Amino acid sequence: MITRGFKQEFERWTDALETANGLRPQLKSWFVDIRIFDGKSLVWMYSKLRAHPEYIGPGTYDRLGRLFMAEGQAKAAGRSQWNIQGHPFNWGERTYLMGVINITPDSFSDGGQFNSVAAALEQAHRLLGAKIDILDIGGQSTRPGAEQISLGEELNRVVPVIEAIRQDKTLAQAVISIDTTRATVARAAIEAGADIINDISGATYEPDMLKVAAETKAPIILMHLRGTPETMQQMTDYDDLLGEMSAFLRQQIERALEVGVPRENICIDPGIGFAKTYAQNLEILRRLPDLAALNCPILVGASRKSFIGWILDQPDPHQREWGTAAACTAAIAGGADILRVHSASMVDVAQVADAIWRQ
């Protein structure tokens, strides 16, 4: 990078651009600019004449895209893997799938289908038999407008299912996540055999959730959300959607670190469908690579969501499988590490998308 009185070499494009942005206010003259080179090729130019940096030269956009992607892949490779129940999670190598088992009568897609220990075990066998990586057990519906059940009811729904999975010889080594916003439920679930905490509130409903994660050493998934499932769809006004989401997640990551959660145990989720309009959900999928700057594995849960029904004019969540496949492919292309899905058919989708995007 070169400007008047300044010349410096950088190993990373992001560092060069950050330095250039810091120097831009010093451009007092119309005849002075900041130039960034790739070898001998001029690729960026900043000046007082330009409100934004300008790409220079044919093929520059593609070349910079490749450089940024390479940096992102290198950063992903530096993230520490998870190893749970003997199953390694090597971020960046492939996409991992989290299969939903809702022990609820009112979830938007499968409410009532697995609302017993026997039915839940049957679904767990189906999912693991299809090579799903994680079983996500939840007892509280989080569909838009859902009312919160009592603590006792949530415990009675999820703990017996987790215990039954651990007692089943075929399922005993399954990786289990507990989908809850309650610290007491998370702790009880981990004591019963769960491995991962999946908190849609990002540990804002009950900050003690972070202490549970620290004390039990369980990985935790922090999702972006505004309001509650009852109120969230009234809270979709953002000045900068990705910027505000990133700030929220960064804040919760810092709070987790402060109470002793290791950074390598933190995963983030942009919260598709939670306090987001249909158009905003699409923007998240388009700009998913923006979240790579937080340097955590990324989970995306787009399966059968209403924005897919809006695009397809399909009110039945079970008829949104092809749309879900498209959304999952987009998420993988954008760098998602884990996909939360309802159907084992997404295993084939992820395998093909990985062959295209991760090779």
The helix or strand, by DSSP H or E, that contains position 198, with its residue range, turns out to be strand 196-199
- Tokens 């679904």 correspond to 123
Tokens of 4: 């008047």
**Which residues neighbour 37 within 8 Å (Cβ) at sequence distance 6 or greater?**
1, 2, 43
What's the rounded Cα separation, in Å, for the pair 218 and 210?
10
What are the residues facing 63 on neighbouring strands?
none
- Alpha carbons within 13 angstroms on the beta-carbon side of residue 252 total 30
Helix/strand number for the chain, H first, E second: 11, 15
One-letter amino acid at 132 equals I
**Which residues neighbour 222 within 8 Å (Cβ) at sequence distance 6 or greater?**
199, 202, 203, 249, 252, 253, 256, 266, 267, 268, 269
Decide: helix, strand or coil at residue 178.
strand
How much of the chain is helix, strand and coil, in % rounded to 5? 45, 15, 40
What's the rounded Cα separation, in Å, for the pair 326 and 128?
23
**Which residues neighbour 13 within 8 Å (Cβ) at sequence distance 6 or greater?**
64, 67, 68, 71
Instruction: State the maximum Cα–Cα separation within the chain, in Å, rounded to a whole number.
Output: 75
**Cβ-count burial 28-60 (b if 16+ within 10 Å, e if not):** eeeeebbebeeeeeebbbbbeeeeebeeeeeeb
The one catalytic residue in 182, 226, 304, 305 is: 305
The helix or strand, by DSSP H or E, that contains position 220, with its residue range, turns out to be strand 220-223
Say if strands 87-89 and 96-102 run parallel, antiparallel, or are unpaired: unpaired
Task: Confirm whether 7 is a catalytic residue.
Answer: no
Find out whether 200 and 271 touch, Cβ atoms under 8 Å: yes
Distances from the Cα of 172 to the Cα of 1, 99, 192, angstroms:
56, 16, 12
Active-site annotation, residues: 305, 340
